[in-house]
Amino acid sequence: MAQVPTGVVAAAGLVGGYGVARWTKKRPLGGAALAVAGGVAARQWAGKVGAPKAAALTGLYVAAFGGSHPLAKKIGAWPSVFAVAGGVALASWVVESRG
């Protein structure tokens, strides 16, 4: 079975985590979705590019989540979430394609 690209998993975690939190009005549920996707992405990154690069990409994932909050005050919630998700997906693709 084909594996979902890690950048897609990470982006889906950021977008899905926010969506779950917003639509259920239960932030811990959104955090759980964010954490599960982040864990899956971290494991895939480790298998593809090794632990140091996986740690850097996981750190970027967490920083993107944190950075989306102040960015949302400037451009709006959904645009902020999509921007950071796209950034993480792009970074993932670049790191994975360069090995």
Amino acid at 73: K
| Tokens linked to 1 | 């079975």
Predicted confidence at residue 50, as pLDDT, reads 97
The CA–CA distances, whole Å, from 85 to 1, 2, 32, 37 equal 25, 22, 17, 12
Q: What is the pLDDT along the chain (99 residues), one digit of tens a residue?
A: 568 999 999 999 999 999 999 999 999 999 999 999 999 999 999 999 999 999 999 999 999 999 999 999 999 999 999 999 999 999 999 999 996
Residue 6 CB coordination number (10 Å): 25
CB 17 within 8 Å of CB 34: yes
**Structural element, H or E, at residue 40:** helix 27-49
